[in-house]
Amino acid sequence: MNRSFIKYHSPLVIILFFVLTAVISCTFALGELKVSNEIDYFDILGEGGMTIITLVWIGFILMSRPAGKVTNWLFSGLLLMNMSMLLDFMDEFIKYPDNNAWLTTLDSLPAPFGMVIMSIALYQWYQEQMTINAQLRRTERVYRDHTLTDFITGLYSAKYMKQQIKHQLLYSKSSNKPFTLMMIDIRQFDQFNRQHGYQQGDNLLREIGQVITMNIRDKDLACRYASDRFIVLLPDTSNETAETFAWHIENSLANLAFKVGSDLKANYQEITLCSKEYNGTESNYQVLELLNLKMEVTKKQNPYPLGNNSLGKQVA
């Protein structure tokens, strides 16, 4: 059992100890022990059991809850109920002389107050739980949203892109408007990583992601598809129109003078870019399959380092 709650709730534990000791001492001081034939052992069992159970409830409350207003209310309510039960229990061993007979009626007093306080406390506990639930829901939503974005580039993730392609396919089919997907792959990214380190590789991914975003329209969607691969979804766009965007992106990236740390040397990263038009009759799976295929063909047609669309260069 974790006993750290005793330290954590020490003021309440002291109050509990003090109250129980005071009740037991008072009853002994003001009354006298009954003889054995005056004792009802069934009552002892019932009332003793209830006293112990309310003490256990107090223990659980202190073990499971942080210090604060709601805990104090719960504790106070249970303590008053426990006082009633303890007084009732003590009645079984002790009888009070006539001038202290008021003690026998006192045992029924704390319990109703305790129950009222407990009801208030339980309502506050309910409200507290509602607030916690609302916060959890918000956290969960943030977490879910995060799974739809790429941590490194801040672009949408492949998962989100796949969802959007699904919607786009349906829309294109019903509206008869084509859409185009563009794929951008960084060349020799593995070599870049090995030469400059993964941290710099991440920075390069981020900057390339920003350049891509700057060159697309509001209605377009860019995502980081895989390690060094990006996809742009261009709704209501033919491949011919997409070529203009492709040209803008290629030119911008060709002039992206990436600096590694405080090094003055500018690194110009070469990319492979391809695009493909769809009319909505393709399946979700086919769309990316066809695009990946086109990327492989484009790469083969433009072998590194000096292919037809090789825009990359490295200058000191």
Instruction: Give 38 or 190: the residue with its C-beta nearer to ligand GTP.
Output: 190
* Minimum CB–partner distance for residue 63 and ligand GTP (Å): 44
Instruction: Give 121 or 295: the residue with its C-beta nearer to ligand GTP.
Output: 295
Instruction: Give 91 or 228: the residue with its C-beta nearer to ligand GTP.
Output: 228
Cβ neighbours for 279, distance < 8 A, ≥ 6 positions apart: 172, 173, 176, 178
* Minimum CB–partner distance for residue 194 and ligand GTP (Å): 7
Annotate 39-57 with b (16+ C-beta within 10 A) or e (fewer). Answer: eeeeeeeebbebbeebbeb
Instruction: Give 164 or 188: the residue with its C-beta nearer to ligand GTP.
Output: 188
How far is Cα 242 from Cα 246, in angstroms, rounded to an integer?
6
Instruction: Give 41 or 198: the residue with its C-beta nearer to ligand GTP.
Output: 198
Identity of the amino acid at 294: K
Residue linked to tokens 């309440």:
12
Instruction: Name the residue number minimizing CB distance to ligand GTP.
Output: 201
Instruction: Give 121 or 253: the residue with its C-beta nearer to ligand GTP.
Output: 253
* Minimum CB–partner distance for residue 230 and ligand GTP (Å): 12
The crossing angle, in degrees rounded to 10, of helices 110-147 and 69-91 is 150
* Minimum CB–partner distance for residue 181 and ligand GTP (Å): 18
**Burial group, residue 217, by CB count within 10 angstroms (0-12, 13-18, 19+):** exposed
* Minimum CB–partner distance for residue 306 and ligand GTP (Å): 13
- Footprint on this chain of ligand GTP (rule: CB under 6 A): 152, 185-191, 193, 198, 201-202, 205, 227-228, 304
Instruction: Give 17 or 198: the residue with its C-beta nearer to ligand GTP.
Output: 198
* Minimum CB–partner distance for residue 179 and ligand GTP (Å): 25
- Residue 95 has φ and ψ, to the nearest 5°, of -115, 145
* Minimum CB–partner distance for residue 225 and ligand GTP (Å): 11
Contact between 231 and 289 under an 8 Å Cβ cutoff? The reply is: no
Annotate 133-164 with b (16+ C-beta within 10 A) or e (fewer). Answer: eeeeeeeeeeeeeeeebbeebebbbbebbbee
* Minimum CB–partner distance for residue 228 and ligand GTP (Å): 5
Distances (CA, A) of 177 to 163, 182, 195, 232: 19, 17, 45, 17
- 35 secondary structure, DSSP code: P
Contact between 178 and 287 under an 8 Å Cβ cutoff? The reply is: no
Q: Which helix (H) or strand (E) holds 223?
A: strand 221-226
Closest C-alpha among 260, 174, 166 to residue 221: 166
Instruction: Give 68 or 303: the residue with its C-beta nearer to ligand GTP.
Output: 303
